[in-house]
Amino acid sequence: SADGGRNLSLESVPMGLPMSDPSAWSTAMNNLGMAPMGMTGQPLLPDFDPALGMMTGIPPINPMMPGLGIVPPPIPPDMPAAKEIIHCKSCTLFPPNPHLPPPATRERPPGCKTVFVGGLPENGTEQIITEVFEQCGEVIAIRKSKKNFCHIRFAEEFMVDKALYLSGYRIRLGSSTDKKDTGRLHVDFAQARDDLYEWECKQRMLAREERHRRRLEEERFRPPSPPPVVHYSDHECSIVAEKLKDDTKFLEAIQTLLTWIERGEVNRRTANNFYSMIQSANSHIRRLVNEKAAHEKEMEEAKEKFKLALSGILVQFEQIVAVYHSASKQKAWDHFTKAQRKNISVWCKQAEEIRNIHNDELMGIRREEEMEMSDEEIEDPSEMKETEESALVSQVEALKEENDSLRWQLDAYRNEVELLKQEQGKASRDEDTTKEQQMKLLQQALQGMQKHLLKVQEEYKKREAELEKVREDKLKIEALLENLKEQESGTSRVCACSQEKEGPVEKTSSNSPVKSEREVLLVGIISTFLHVHPFGASIEYICSYLQRLDSKICTAEVEVLMTRLQNTFRQELSGVGASLEKRWKFCGFDGLKMT
């Protein structure tokens, strides 16, 4: 059949040979360590004990014995687990004892297609070897030795696994029982230079394919290169000039303009066109500044929204912490179980930590706003005048420079017009039309430059008039400042005299609400404690903090002291209904302004 070269024929076909003494045959099989089987594959002794095979005194080879360090070959998936008798034309293969361990093999070389076959019969020929191993696959070469072993090279690697399946089989030539016609096959991997060379060639081919595949993947995922910039021409210049006026196409046009300038396209003939394009690009600065201001406004609105949301979250955290504190009081605390009390205390700690983090964040935002406000305070009028004067002076100088540059450009245009007039008389009639167009363009440019020069001169005169007014205002302000200083010195002298007269009266009439150094220390500690609690604290909370420092402090003493200092501490009511609570807040900064 067509599949005869790829698969082993494992069917047990009777050979048709006479068997004169079945008992002798079973005895021989028993001595070989195999179960006695008939020629048809049926067991001759149904109650055969496999342990009898060990009576020969030769223990079976165990692949895990110390010193071997080898692994038995795997059974191919298309091979049956139970080995059977294999019948060939010139020989018969008897399977090994299934209870014996599989034969050991060496480590498989890479790309192995060659096997070593040992234990061949002395009378075995190359034809018999081909007949046995052709059932495993296509045999390319057989190298037979005189010492009952050979090397067989197959066409594919998987055929080697099928050949290893025959390791351990007993081979018998025909029906002879002569020792020269029998043998035990030992099939193992063999290392051959041809197999290694083919395997290396295959690996190099796979590496080339992998590199090619990666190159294709990289080219597929590589971003496309930008389109090339066109070369300068009058037509392309007009297109770019129109794109520069459009906000949506400005970026593309400005890149083209930059490339042209870097290429060196600017010359005496194209300078006007490039100047107009640069002027168009300059007109977009105001648009970009307005866009930036709009984005800054949106950012400020987002900051304000975030600050309001954070303050609302902080109020809710304060309410949750107040709930935990009220639950921790003895009236409600005694009714909770031990596990519930533990959970409430843990939750209270977590809520206080999160509340403090949010509070610090909000205070940081407010500090940043105060610093920004202090940086943006209005400066003195004299300094404002000086800055305005310096700005006007810089503008006047810039206008002078622009005026000089315009004059130089006018001189250059006049020279070009004269050169064109001289060349016009020498040129041919075919070039008259182009030169007339150039003359018209130059005349229009000259007229525009003259108008611009007049405007600049008018602005220059206006700026000079404004500068003179600013100088006069500065002189007036300096005179006023001197008068104010003289008046302040006079009033300070009068105040000093009056204070000397009224000093003793004030000393006798002043009565301090703080009567001892202990009360001064208490006021300082309470002020510091309330300053870090912007939403206030109850009198019990304040006294619990003070009693950690001094256990003799009582609540009544602290409350009397705080009620005396109305400009420093303020009592407020917070909550609704049953959760109504009195809280003390620090108002020293406001009281300082009132006193």
Order across the sheet with 149-154: list the strands.
Answer: 139-144, 149-154, 114-118, 186-189
Q: What average pLDDT does range 542-555 have in this prediction?
A: 86
Name the percent of the chain lying above pLDDT 70: 78
SS3 514: coil
Rounded CA separation 324/144 (Å): 95
Per-residue pLDDT of 61-74, as tens digits, reads: 343 333 333 444 55
Q: Residue 274 and residue 238: Cα distance in Å, rounded?
A: 11
Report the CATH number of the 86-203 domain: 3.30.70.330
Six-digit token string for 107:
């480590």
* pLDDT given for residue 77 in this prediction: 56
Closest by CA to 116, choosing from 199, 210, 187, 206, is 187
CA-atom Rg of the chain in angstroms: 55
Distances in whole angstroms, Cα of residue 475 to Cα of each of 378, 479, 486: 21, 6, 17
pLDDT at 217: 92
Confidence of residue 175 (pLDDT cuts 50, 70, 90): confident
Is the predicted pLDDT of residue 13 greater than 60, yes or no?
no
SS3 157: coil
pLDDT given for residue 78 in this prediction: 55
Average pLDDT over residues 107-119: 93
- What's the CA gap between 137 and 155, in Å, rounded? 7
- Is the Cβ–Cβ distance between 178 and 90 less than 8 Å? no
Nearest to 186, CA basis, from 114, 109, 104, 129? 104
Is residue 205 scored above 80 in pLDDT? Answer: yes
Question: What string of H, E and C letters represents the secondary structure of 279-314?
Answer: HHHHCHHHHHHHHHHHHHHHHHHHHHHHHHHHHHHH
Which residue(s) pair with 455 in the sheet? none
- Please compute the mean of the pLDDT values over residues 7-26 and round it to a whole number: 39
Which range scores top for mean pLDDT: 419-423, 457-461, 572-576?
457-461
In tens, the pLDDT along 239-289 reads: 999 988 888 888 888 889 999 999 888 898 988 989 998 988 898 888 899
Mean pLDDT value across the chain: 79
CATH dotted code for 517-593: 1.10.10.10
Q: pTM for this structure?
A: 0.31
Which one-letter DSSP state was computed for residue 250? H
Query: Tokens 């309470």 belong to which residue?
Result: 526
- To the nearest 10 degrees (0 to 180), the angle between helices 284-327 and 271-282 is 20
Note the pLDDT of residue 382. Answer: 54
pLDDT beyond 50 at 57: no
Q: Is 43 left (phi over 0), alpha (psi -120 to 50) or beta?
A: beta
Which tens digits make up the pLDDT trace of 480-538?
888 888 877 767 665 555 555 445 444 444 467 777 888 888 889 988 888 888 888 88
pLDDT, tens digit (0-9, with 9 covering 90-100), for 379-430: 455 556 566 677 777 778 778 878 877 887 788 788 778 877 777 766 666 6
* Strand-strand pairing, 186-189 and 149-154: unpaired
- Whether residue 579 is predicted with pLDDT greater than 90 in this model: the reply is no
- Assess whether pLDDT exceeds 70 at residue 191: yes
